[in-house]
């Protein structure tokens, strides 16, 4: 490994510093050891740290929470693309191809707006896991569904969604899932639906804005509302906006990003 690694912190799904979801982006010259990347992610202590490395005509991309590697992450992908374009490592009009654990992911740039091409996930009916409602602090839900890695819980109102105060210890003990998406129809004319995302099982109690969760919630709301194009808001304390286009087995997830710091990681 080199002794100095360029390191950036980027707020994704926002155009305003200190909003959206912060991600660390390490730009590598060559592939790094998994244990070292996990140690860096624990040191950064953000929901995700991304590691970008040239690979063929594109880049290899891996994502780590402070506790584990994950197979898909939206906001850190958006942050990585933002860094490559902002630093001149990639020409402004070129599409970026990332080789990841979830296959080939691409990102395109339209002035300040970026759009990622991700795999869509289909929600299917699920039994309510034991302790789920207790962990969320709710007595009922309109629907409980399951995707590949996450549960999606639909509540009756956006107000109920905003008022949630989960017990993260209990929530992290529910087996067989990465995280829990809680969603409701928006009570704002600016958005079609709202959500929050909790993943204490992988070291993230509440993620501020989660691109990968919208691979499941986007197609769900597309079917509910009968529209392919949607506006979504993740109602965490920081908050963030996403533009979604459901395209069959793929979903286009759009947003903005802003660099808040850059420096060098000494290792």
Q: Are 215 and 180 in contact (CB under 8 A)?
A: no
User: Please, which residues bridge with residue 62 across strands?
Assistant: 51
Beta pairing class for 48-55 and 21-27: parallel
Question: In this structure, what DSSP letter does residue 36 have?
Answer: H
Which residue in 74, 36, 31 sits closest to 266, CA to CA?
36
Residue 228 catalytic?
no
Question: Which two structure tokens, joined as six digits, stand for 3?
Answer: 């002794």
Q: How far apart are the first and last CA of the chain?
A: 8
Question: Which two structure tokens, joined as six digits, stand for 249?
Answer: 């087995």
Question: In this structure, what DSSP letter does residue 68 have?
Answer: -
Residue appearing with tokens 């490559």? 84
User: Please, which residues bridge with residue 181 across strands?
Assistant: 152, 197
Q: Are 264 and 217 in contact (CB under 8 A)?
A: no
Which residue out of 30, 43, 48, 228 is catalytically annotated?
Answer: 48
Residues identified as active-site = 48
């Amino acid at each position: 490994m080199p002794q100095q690694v360029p390191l950036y912190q980027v707020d994704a799904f926002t155009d305003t510093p200190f909003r959206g979801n912060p991600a660390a982006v390490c730009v590598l010259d060559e592939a790094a050891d998994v244990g070292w990347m996990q140690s860096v992610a624990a040191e950064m202590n953000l929901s995700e740290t991304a590691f970008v490395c040239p690979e063929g005509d594109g880049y290899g991309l891996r994502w780590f929470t402070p506790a584990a590697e994950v197979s898909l992450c939206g906001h850190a992908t958006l942050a990585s693309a933002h860094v490559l374009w902002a630093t001149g490592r990639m020409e402004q009009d070129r599409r970026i191809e990332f080789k990841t654990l979830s296959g080939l992911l691409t990102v395109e740039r339209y002035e300040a707006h970026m759009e990622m091409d991700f795999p869509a996930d289909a929600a299917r009916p699920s039994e309510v896991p034991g302790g789920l409602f207790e962990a969320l602090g709710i007595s009922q839900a309109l629907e409980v569904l399951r995707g590949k890695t996450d549960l999606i819980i639909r509540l009756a109102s956006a107000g109920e969604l905003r008022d949630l105060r989960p017990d993260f210890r209990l929530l992290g003990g529910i087996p067989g899932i990465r995280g829990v998406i809680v969603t409701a129809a928006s009570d704002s004319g600016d958005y079609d639906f709202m959500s929050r995302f909790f993943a204490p099982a992988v070291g993230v109690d509440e993620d501020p804005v989660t691109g990968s969760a919208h691979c499941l919630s986007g197609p769900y709301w597309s079917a509910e509302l009968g529209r392919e194009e949607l506006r979504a808001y993740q109602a965490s304390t920081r908050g963030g906006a996403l533009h979604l286009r459901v395209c069959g087995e793929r979903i286009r997830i759009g947003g903005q990003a802003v660099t808040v710091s850059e420096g060098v990681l000494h290792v």
